[in-house]
Chains A and B, each alone.
Chain A
Amino acid sequence: MTTTALQEPVRGTPSGAPAARRPRRRTGRAHRALLPYLLLLPALLLELLVHLVPMVIGVMMSFKELVQIYIRDWSSAPWSGLGNYRMTVDFHAPVGAALLHSFLVTVGFTLLSVALCWLIGTAAALFLQDTFRGRGLLRALFLVPYALPVYAAVITWVFMFQHDNGLVNHVLHDQLHLTDKPAFWLIGDNSFYALLTVSVWKGWPFAFLVVTAGLQNIPGELYEAAALDGAGMWQRIARITLPSLRPVNQVLVLVLFLWTFNDFNTPYVLFGRAAPDAADLVSVHIYQASFVTWNFGTGSAMSVLLLLFLLVVTGAYLLITSRGRRGADA
C-alpha cells in the first residue's frame, strides 16, 4: 500500500546509536540531515524537468493562442484568456461536440476494459493457486501478452482484423458462418469491440500478476481453519480470498483505470492517426487535435480538463474505497 510506506515511523534515525560513535556525531548529524536530500536530488530534478515544469507550461499554453507560427517561440503567442476552454466545452460547436463524444467513448471503453481485465485476471490467479501439472507453463504463457511490446502485439491484431485476409473474418464468416458478409473491424462501429478485445488481451495479465502476488500474502492457516469449519472451495474463495484481496484490488483497479483511460499506444497502432468515431479515445483525439491542426492551445486546454477529471475521479475513488475499508476493518 502506498500510505503504509509513508506513515511508517522511521526506525533508521540514530537516537539509539551506540556511545562508541559519539566523537563523529556532530559532523555525522549535519551530514545526515543533508543526505536524504542529496539522494533524492536526481529523482527530483528529473521529475521537475520531465513532469512538473512541462505541466506548468501545459497549463500556461492552454491560456494562449498557440498556433503553428508561434511554436519556435511559444512565449510570444498572444494570451487568449479562457478562449481555448470556451471552445472545448462548447458542446454545440463541432470541436466541443467531438470532444464530448470522444470522452464518453473513452469512459465506456475504460469501464468495460477494466472490469474484464480484473475479472479474467482474478479468475486466472485463483485457478492457478493450487499446484497441478502444467501450472508453471500456463503462468508463463499468460504473461506473454503483457511482455510483448505493445506495437508488436497490436500489429498482429491489426492483421487478424483485416477485412480480406484476416483470421477473425475467416473464422466468423467462412468457417462458422455467423455473419452474412465479412465485417469491417477497424473502421465503423465494430472498431469499438476490436479495440476492447485488444485492450483486454493486453491488459488482463497485469491484473493476473498483481493478484497472484497478492494471494501469496494470505496466510495458509486461514484456509485450513475455514476448511475445518466445513467451508467448501467456493465458500473459501468468497469468504477469505476475495476479502483478503481488497487492499490489493483497491490499487489494482485504480492503476488499471488510469492506464486504460490514458492509453495512447493501443488505439494509435490499431487505427493509425485517424481513429474511427466509435473508438475515438480521448488521448488520440487530443493528439490529432494538436498535431493535425497544429493548434497546441486547444490541445492543452483539453489535456488540462482531462487531468482535472482524473484528479476528481481518483480523489473520490480513494475517499470511498478507503472509508469502506476502514469500516470493514473495524
Chain B
Amino acid sequence: MHDSPMAPPRSFLWVRRVFLTLLTGFVLIPVYVMVSSSLKPLADVTGKFRWLPSGLTLRPYIDIWSTVPLARYFVNSLIVAGAATLCSVVVAVFAAYAVSRYDFRGKRVFTVTVLSTQMFPGILFLLPLFLLYVNIGNATGIALFGSRGGLILTYLTFSLPFSIWMLIGYLDSVPRDLDEAALVDGCGPLGALFRIVVPAAVPGIVAVAVYAFMTAWGEVLFASVMTDDTTRTLAVGLQGYSTLNNVYWNQIMAASLVVSVPVVAGFLLLQRYLVAGLTAGAVK
C-alpha cells in the first residue's frame, strides 16, 4: 500500500470518505427535496412529508406560469441581471486596466474607497438610495425608482468593487510586455486594451461576469423595495406563491427549480474560469 511517501495513509482515506459522504448528503438533501417535490401532486406536499412521491406529475410546471405572472418576472430578471452584468464588466475592465497599468495621483484612495464599500451593510444605502431615486425622479422626471433602470444601476454598482479588485489582480498577471509591444506597434492604449489585454484576461473577465450576474439574479433587499408590479423580479415574485391562502409547495419548488437552472448550469459550466480567476486575481 505505502509504496510512495506521498500516498495518503489509511486513516486519511477513511476520514475523507466519511466526511465527503456526510457533506454530500447535507448538500444534496435540499436539492432532492426541491426536485422531487416539484413533481409531486398537491396532496403529497400538504400532508406529511414523503421521501417518495405517490405519483409523478408535471402539472406544477404548467401551473406556475398562471398562478403568478412568472414569465414577466423572468423577463424582468433577465433584463436587469443581463444589463447590470454587461455594464459592470465593461466599467470594471476600464477601471482595473487604469489601476493595473498606470501610475496616477489618487490611485490608492480610489482602490481603498472602492474596496471599503464592500463592508457597508446594504441597509445603509437602501434608505438614502430610495430617497435619492425618488427625489431625482421628482426633479428631473427620470424615473429611477420602480424602474428597471434604477435597479440595473444599483446592481451594477454592487458587483463593481469585487469585480475591479479581482480584475486588477488578473490584469497584473498578464505580462506587460504584451501590451507595451502593441503600444510600440502603434496601437493606442485602448487598442492595446481591447486587442491584447482583454483577450488574455478572458478567464478573469468571465469569472467577474458570472459573479455580477449571480449577484443581480439573487438580490432580494433592493428588489423588494425598488420594484413595482410591472418591474418585479423573480427574487420578489417567487414570494407570490406563498402569500396565497393555499400554499402550493409543489409549484413553489417547480418555480424555484426553473429560476435556478439557468444560473446553476451557467455557473457549473464556467466554474473552472472562476477558480482560475480567483487563483490569479483575488487569492495571491
A-side interface residues toward B, CB under 8 Å?
1-2, 4-6, 8, 10-13, 17-18, 20-21, 32-33, 35-37, 39-40, 42-44, 46-47, 49-55, 57-58, 61, 71-74, 120, 123-124, 127-128, 130, 138-153, 155-160, 162, 164-167, 169-170, 174, 201, 209-210, 212-214, 216-217, 223-224, 227-228, 230, 232-234, 247-248, 251, 255, 258, 261-262, 264-265, 268-269, 282-283, 286-287, 290-291, 296, 299-300, 303-304, 306-307, 310-311, 314
Contacts and interface: CB of A to CB of B under 8 A. Distances in A.
Contact of A49 (B107, B153, B219, B252): B153
A162 B48 CA distance: 10
B221 interface: yes
Contact of A43 (B94, B123, B283): B94
B108 to A, nearest CB: 6
Contacts of A258: 118-119
A234 to B, nearest CB: 7
B238 A155 contact: yes
Interface string B49-84: 100000000000000000000000000000000000
Contact of B157 (A47, A164, A169, A232): A47
B134 interface: yes
Given A5-B172, A138-B20, A165-B49, A147 B121 contact: no
B37 A35 contact: no
B28 A141 contact: yes
26 contacts: A12-B176, A20-B184, A37-B98, A40-B94, A46-B160, A54-B125, A58-B125, A58-B128, A61-B131, A71-B134, A142-B27, A143-B271, A149-B214, A151-B239, A151-B256, A152-B34, A155-B256, A159-B33, A165-B249, A209-B275, A213-B282, A216-B275, A227-B6, A230-B5, A283-B121, A286-B123
Contact of A51 (B120, B179, B268): B120
Given A71-B134, A147-B268, A265-B219, A127 B169 contact: no
B26 A201 contact: yes
Contacts of A282: 121
Given A6-B107, A53-B132, A262-B119, 19 more contacts: A5-B165, A33-B104, A39-B98, A47-B114, A50-B158, A61-B131, A127-B20, A149-B260, A150-B220, A151-B218, A156-B34, A210-B283, A233-B12, A234-B12, A300-B124, A303-B124, A306-B124, A307-B121, A311-B119
The 7 A-B pairs with the shortest beta carbon distances in the complex, nearest first, are A54-B128, A50-B157, A147-B267, A39-B98, A152-B256, A57-B128, A213-B278
Contacts of B103: 10, 12-13
A296 B26 CA distance: 40
B206 interface: no
B153 A46 contact: yes
B123 A142 contact: no
Interface string B1-30: 000111011011000100110011011111
B125 A55 contact: yes
A49 B122 contact: no
A91 B189 CA distance: 58
A307 B114 contact: no
B230 interface: no
Interface string B215-229: 001111100110000
Query: Which DSSP category, helix, strand, loop or mixed, fits chain A's interface?
Result: helix
B102 A35 contact: yes
Contact of B165 (A2, A37, A155, A248): A2
A296 B230 CA distance: 26
Instruction: Decide if the interface of chain B is mainly helix, strand, loop or mixed.
Output: helix
B212 interface: no
B186 to A, nearest CB: 9
Most buried by B among A47, A268, A307: A47
B19 A127 contact: yes
A124 B134 contact: no
A47 B109 CA distance: 13
Given A1-B284, A43-B164, A228-B5, A283 B131 contact: no
B104 A290 contact: no
Contacts of B239: 151, 269
A5 B172 CA distance: 8
B271 to A, nearest CB: 6
Given A49-B153, A50-B154, A55-B128, A42 B121 contact: no
Given A150-B218, A159-B253, A10 B102 contact: yes
B110 interface: yes
Contacts of A1: 284
B121 A306 contact: yes
Contact of B123 (A5, A148, A234, A264): A264
Contact of A39 (B33, B94, B134, B253): B94
Interface string B243-284: 000000100110011011001100110010011001100111
A165 B132 contact: no
B279 A57 contact: no
Contacts of A127: 16, 19-20
B208 interface: no
Given A43-B164, A147-B268, A170-B48, A268 B122 contact: no
Contacts of B225: 291
Nearest to B4: A227
